[in-house]
Amino acid sequence: MPPATVLVVDDDPVILKLLEVNFEMEGFQVVRAADGAEGLKRAREVLPDIVVLDVMMPRMTGYEVAKALREDDVTAHIPIIFVTARAQSSDVEKGMELGVEDYVTKPFDPLDLIDRVNSLLARRLGGLDAESEEPATESIADHTEEPPPAAAPPAAEPPPAAAGLDADSATAS
């Protein structure tokens, strides 16, 4: 199976490059766009597996791009994740109304974003929700809080004295 294609749309060249490098390192094919209008054009040309979309951009906002993608039968099925500094509940609600699957606020952890992309793609590959016959997705409201802290790393091997040896037998040779 060919690698999944992610369309990354952001007007900040540093974030665009950060996302490109991280997605490529995880085996994705990456298509870039530097503003909303270019992003919409690229989405229609490439038909990516998923779109990672900034909200505040020149020429066309992420909201406008998402609305246009959802209204087009050819692109309506493509999952969209907003990655934006706009974190107020009204912004999240607007994204939900547009059918955006997830909403990540800046600053963000690129590995967390990749996990969210992989999760959305896995659900899409898993098919439709059996009860509603709608694509099986979570609400973006499920992901608006900070992720739980990572588990502590496993403890290192105990030093020789802690393993039942006395200090004299643990000396270096």
Give the per-residue pLDDT at 159: 45
Quote the pTM value: 0.72
Give the per-residue pLDDT at 127: 59
- Whether 6 and 52 have beta carbons less than 8 Å apart is answered as yes
- pLDDT single digits (tens) 12-70: 999 999 999 999 999 999 999 999 999 999 999 999 999 999 999 989 999 999 999 99
- pLDDT single digits (tens) 112-150: 999 999 999 998 877 544 333 343 333 333 434 444 444
Which candidate, 48, 46, 139, places its Cα nearest to that of 100? 139
Give the per-residue pLDDT at 113: 94
Query: What residues are paired with 102 via a beta bridge?
Result: 81
Structure tokens at 151: 């588990």
User: How many CB atoms are located within 10 Å of the residue 29 CB?
Assistant: 15
22 burial via Cβ count (<10 Å: 0-12, 13-18, 19+): middle
Structure tokens at 149: 């802290």
Give the per-residue pLDDT at 25: 95
- pLDDT single digits (tens) 71-88: 999 999 999 999 988 878
> Distance (Å, rounded) from C-alpha 49 to C-alpha 118?
11
Domain harbouring 17, CATH code: 3.40.50.2300
Query: What residues are paired with 80 via a beta bridge?
Result: 51
Secondary structure element (H or E) that encloses residue 104, with its range: strand 102-105
> 20 is in which domain, residue-wise?
5-170
Give the per-residue pLDDT at 4: 95
The more confident residue out of 113 and 156 is 113
Total domains in the chain come to 1
